[in-house]
Structure formats: C-alpha cells, structure tokens
C-alpha cells in the first residue's frame, strides 16, 4: 500500500549547521581530507558504503551553495570536472554522478557518486539509494579507492 503524501508542514526544518552553529564540516577543517586548497576540501564518507566511491567537495568557508561568492563560483566549475575525473581514475566506473541536494546540511557540499560499470540496474538517479541499500564495500577496497582519488587530485 503506497504511503499517502503528507500535507506541507508549517516551516522547513533547520538544516545541520544552520547559521554556521555546530557545523561538523567547519569543526573538522581539513582533518582527514583527501585533498584541499585554500578554499575547498574533498573528503570521503566516514566508512564504506555500497557504491565503489562516494566523495564530497565542500567549501572550507561556511557558505550555502546558493550564496557562493563569485570567486568560489568561478572555481567550482573546473573543480567539478577535476574531482569527477579523479573518481573515474579508480577504474571500472560506468559514471560519476555529481549531485547537490543541500537538504541535510547548510554547508556547501557537492556529492560525487561512482557507479560501477556494466551494472545497468544501478544506472540513473537512484544511485544514492543503491549506495545505502547495497552491502558496504570491503574496508580495504574502500580505502584503496579513496587513495586513488587523493593521488589523482594531488
């Protein structure tokens, strides 16, 4: 039985780190990052998930995606391509989805989700769901894939 669509709520729930208060990204800085420069940081997730590789490109400054200053907006385009290529370098990747939702955290973050090559069931916008429902990657494979991304970004 499909769940009925609920009525709109009174107001949007506050996102993580709203107003820069208690923001995990800001607190972590570049600790454990795969790569960073003065304005940006690339990180993996906290542990293995279902897809071969999931990384995030984030600003170092606490800013929301729609409010990116011009300088950061100019840097973002080339970085999207650069990070996507670094994830492709893992090998046997059919596609790297570049995603921005921003419903969870206010701090500007863009997802890169690697889809394994030659698995048609995993194609398309459900990749993020597959990442949650597939069994997590073995820890050593997960780390090796992140090492490739870090190496390619250097």
Binding to Zn ion (CB under 5 A) within 41-100 occurs at: 62
Give the residue with the Cβ less far from Zn ion, 23 or 45: 23
- Candidate list 26, 45, 68, 150; residue touching Zn ion; CB under 5 A: 26
Which residues are paired to 110 by β-bridges? 57
Nearest-approach distance from CB 75 to Zn ion, in angstroms: 18
Which residues are paired to 56 by β-bridges? 43, 111
Q: What is the CA radius of gyration of the chain?
A: 16
Q: What are 62's two structure tokens?
A: 């606490």
Residue recorded with tokens 């690339």: 42
Neighbours of 140 (CB within 10 A): 9
Nearest-approach distance from CB 17 to Zn ion, in angstroms: 5
Q: What are 146's two structure tokens?
A: 């992140």
Nearest-approach distance from CB 69 to Zn ion, in angstroms: 15
Rounded CA separation 50/126 (Å): 12
Give the residue with the Cβ less far from Zn ion, 25 or 97: 25
The residue count for binding Zn ion (CB under 5 A) is 6
Give the residue with the Cβ less far from Zn ion, 49 or 58: 58
Neighbours of 4 (CB within 10 A): 6
Q: What are 75's two structure tokens?
A: 């840097």
Q: Which residues contact 45 (CB under 8 A, 6 or more apart)?
A: 54, 55, 56
Give the residue with the Cβ less far from Zn ion, 59 or 145: 59
- Candidate list 23, 76, 128, 141; residue touching Zn ion; CB under 5 A: 23
Q: Which residue is nearest to Zn ion (CB)?
A: 23
Give the residue with the Cβ less far from Zn ion, 23 or 128: 23
17 near Zn ion (CB under 5 A): yes
- Judged by the rule CB under 5 A, the positions of this chain that interact with Zn ion are 17, 23, 25-26, 62, 107
């Amino acid at each position: 039985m499909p769940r009925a669509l609920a009525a709109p709520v009174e107001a949007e729930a506050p996102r993580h780190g709203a107003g820069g208060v208690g923001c995990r990204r800001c607190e972590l800085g570049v600790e454990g990052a795969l790569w960073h420069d003065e304005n940006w940081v690339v990180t993996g997730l906290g542990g293995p998930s279902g897809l071969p590789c999931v990384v995030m490109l984030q600003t170092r400054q606490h800013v929301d995606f729609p409010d990116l200053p011009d300088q950061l907006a100019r840097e973002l385009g080339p970085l999207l391509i650069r990070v996507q290529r670094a994830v492709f370098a893992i090998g046997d990747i059919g596609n790297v989805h570049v995603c921005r939702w921003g419903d969870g955290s206010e701090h500007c973050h863009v997802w890169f989700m690697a889809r394994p090559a030659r698995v048609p069931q995993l194609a398309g916008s459900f990749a993020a769901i597959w990442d949650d429902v597939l069994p997590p990657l073995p820890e050593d494979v997960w780390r090796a894939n992140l090492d490739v991304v870090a190496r390619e970004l250097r």
